[in-house]
Structure 1
Amino acid sequence: MTSPRAYLDHNATSPVRPEVAAAVARALGLSGNPSSVHAEGRAARAALEHARAQVGRLVGVGAGRVVFTSGGTEAANAVLSGGLRRAGEAAPTRLIIGATEHPCVAAGHRFPADAVTVIPVDAHGVIDRAALAETLDRHRGEGVLVSVHAANNETGVIQPLADIVALARGHGRALVHSDAVQAVGKIPLDLSALGLDALTLSGHKFAAPRGVGAVVLAAGVTLEPALLRGGGQEGRLRAGTENLPGLVGMGVAAEMAGFGAHHEVLRDAMAAGLRALAPDLVVFGVGAPRLPNTLSFAIPGLDAATALMALDLAGVALSSGSACASGKVARSPVLAAMGVSPALAAGALRVSLGWNSTESDGTRCLAACERLVETLYRRRGRAA
């Protein structure tokens, strides 16, 4: 009998909860289009709006502030395509982003290169607030959009959004967007309490189906459709018939999202276990607030690509701390921005926990890592 695998890659995709899958299956039985006026269409519309309210509650807004999309990338691209604005004001002409943003922000905008400023981060991955303040002062009087993610997908480092919003409000005309894909469902996040103008999220990061996400807008903030034009769906902000089953599933996942302390306990136990195996272990972002489910680390001399293959064969699914494209591991721009050496970054691995992670998953991962470390240390001994 094959032993169960340890899936520890929830920041990439969190498996769909059984309750979510059941809701999706029920929604597949709704035959109407949510835009139709007949009984079947009204039933579909009711299910859609219920899901909208569920997602809104997760981030502290009413249903009318939630615009559904196909996922986090589309959502971020829509916000960063020049269409986000306060009612009665012109759209921003300058973009300010953090140095560790996800590619959907770093490469997903339509601002000219000379209108984009990248703000550095410190060695822990936290944005340089003094540099942000200086940049805002330099562009006082211009329409500015600041986009800083709530938490980093590789390191789990949480950004000081309240401070960032306060700096932007001092500027006067700055809007603030946060790519909250990795934070929503893992830590409490309230758009209104933070004062954000917009945030974007993706369902599959908190155990909803893939292919659904949302732009969430503050009161008084609107979005001109820049990517998908056509029908009047989503308040005329995003054309195209909605993915009703997927969105119903995202609503249920939003209702079930929790912020239990068990993830942090398991994460820290794994970090302690790894340090016992390899005293020279480096944990990235450890000096900053981090998502309770995320552990990004490297053991000097251990190559990430080799380690991932060995761990996979041992029944453990992790990710590299590096950006991946077409299955190939590349140097992480996040770790580079934090000043991590190329040699150490080449060995970065990421554990990310989720709703079905258990202590036995951690035990299995540590056992597999122990074999890797033993092999590494034997090679070091021979080399010495």
Structure 2
Amino acid sequence: MPRIQGCDAFRVAMPRGRRAESILVRLADGDGATGWGELSLPDERGGRRGRDGGAAGTGPWADIEHRMGPALIGLEWDRPEDVSGAADLGAHEAAAAIDTACWDLWCRTRGLPLAHALGGTRTSIVTGARISPAQVLETLPTRVNKAIGAGHTRVTVDVRPGWDIEPIRVIRQAYPALALVADAGHAYRDTPEHLEVLEGLDAYGLAAVERPFPADDLAAHAKLQLRIGAAVAPDVGDLDALGAALRLEAGRALHLRPDRFGGLTAARSAHDLAYAAGWDVWCSGAGGFGIGQAAAVALAALPGCTLPSDVSDPAQGPVYVTPPVRSSGGVVGVPLTQPGLGHEVDEARIERLASRRMRLSA
């Protein structure tokens, strides 16, 4: 059986402009093969956090350095699923980075593209985009037009009480055929007033209403789904929550993010459950360094991912993986001629950008 011989972690931030931060994980076997994973750290502007992305002395860095990493060193494994015990030692976000790195390493040692190893059947992914949340009606059509001009065929726009019917009406009036998702960010409640607004949104031919209610109020999601034609997409972050949503018929669409489910292994299982139930699925990646997006591309190649996915990096942004994960005419190719993620990480640049490093070895 192969063994994991090394685990490195790097905390990195964009060198200029938007200071997106990620923790990158690199796993190595005894023959020199490596696999990469990425987790995106939350925006620090919302409040103080510790150096590892959580409260001081906690968070994903501590999960990787003190719990998951040591459990991986010397571990014998035949398949990435065998590493799930180590991934269970920390939060979903850290587990996702470890799990993705395991899949990448395993595929590279066997010469398999990650998309094929997961069961993907697509050679390209149709892309969508999320519009910035600035609540300015006058600029909304221009921002949507920019996304359409880049080839994206689905646009997600944030809605909140008081900012819902009018922005959707403006977009739909300007772009009658555009696939449109309204992301409510848990802002509504199961009240007659809020239900009336959400039902009103349905008149504009939405593809989905995402996260309309608090995640634990699946009954409200089920009630709304009975009243509208658009698919409701509840915010589910694990297989138990998804199973409950399926049983209650609390939606018909799933926004699938590997970091929310704890990695590609659980995300693939979530896809399989949603697909079997007839739900639509779309994927998105997390992080600004290309690795999280590359993993999401592989996941979006699964047959149940029927809606355009958010799986490309900004067209003019810096490049940390080769080839960059970018759409051309609203399409991202699935890398099927190279093993693993299908992208090579610029390790020297990552080393230079790292503000914190960790190395564990057998």
TM-score (norm 2): 0.34
Q: Please say which structure displays the higher CA radius of gyration.
A: 1
